[in-house]
Amino acid sequence: MKWSIINKQKLYNGFYKLSAVQLQHELFAGGQSKILRRELIDRGQAVAVLPYDPISDEIVLIEQFRIGAGGAENDPWVIEVIAGYKESGELTEEVVHREAYEEAGCRVTDLLPMFKYYSSPGGSNEQIQIFLGRTQSSHINGIHGLDEEGEDIKVHVISSQQAFDWLDSGKIDSAAPIIALQWFRLNYQRIRKNWLS
């Protein structure tokens, strides 16, 4: 099916970019849609990694303040996987290594792709690619992040079972870590067998 952009106007250019888009697309029943107006948040390509130490059977997760989680009944500090956005010309694996070190003081190897998905395609073009990465967790701890980006990131090194418990209890409540941990749980025995042999 085909679609076309008739007009695109930038409305805001800050931490995120927001555009008003006029578009038209083919209909499933045939013909063309009316001209539609949609707002598009331009977030770009994100990359995430779930570091795992097969020797200690530990997962590395991070916790940081997120404005979108700050509703009246919610705690705006969110448990997440390490993630960041691709910069111009940067390779996906370079983002993984850069963000792992910046956000958790962590080095990762043996990257295994999990999923690549749109986070909220109704209004954003953000695509997230998630990896599992092998790490050595005994030295990973503390508070990390870049001052110039206003980051204040706490590292959690927890057993795989505790991570699964956090997932099942709802303590982990954002999409990327839920997707990563569900994939990891489904592939847990295979990963351990391969990485410990």
Q: What is the CATH number of the domain that holds 109?
A: 3.90.79.10
Residues 52, 76, single domain; the answer is yes
Segment 144-157 shows an average pLDDT of 92
CA distance 132 to 20: 36
Residues 155, 121, single domain; the answer is yes
Residues 175, 84, single domain; the answer is yes
Residues 50, 35, single domain; the answer is no
Q: For 4-22, give one letter per residue: b (16+ CB within 10 A) or e.
A: eeeeeeeeeeeeeebbeee
CA distance 47 to 190: 23
Which residue among the candidates 26, 87, 94, 149 is catalytic per the annotation? Answer: 149
Residues 56, 101, single domain; the answer is yes
Segment 88-117 shows an average pLDDT of 96
Is there a catalytic annotation at residue 102?
Answer: no
| AA identity, residue 160 | S
Residues 77, 155, single domain; the answer is yes
Nearest C-alpha neighbor of 95 from the set 85, 105, 104, 103: 85
Q: Which tokens go with 171?
A: 């303590």
Residue 93 pLDDT: 96
Residues 73, 123, single domain; the answer is yes
Residues 128, 33, single domain; the answer is no
CA distance 146 to 152: 8
| CA count, 13 A, side-chain hemisphere, 194 | 10
Residues 117, 157, single domain; the answer is yes
The full DSSP string for 39-88 is EEEE--EEEEEEEEETTTTEEEEEEEE-GGG--TTS-SEEEE-EEEEPPT
Segment 102-111 shows an average pLDDT of 97
How many independent structural domains does the chain possess? 2
Segment 170-196 shows an average pLDDT of 97
Confidence of residue 9 (pLDDT cuts 50, 70, 90): very high
CA distance 80 to 37: 33
Domain that residue 21 falls in:
3-42
pLDDT in tens, 21-71: 999 999 999 999 999 999 999 988 999 999 999 999 999 999 999 988 887
Residues 38, 82, single domain; the answer is no
Residues 53, 83, single domain; the answer is yes
Residue with tokens 């990973």: 140
Residues 86, 158, single domain; the answer is yes
Residue 148 pLDDT: 87
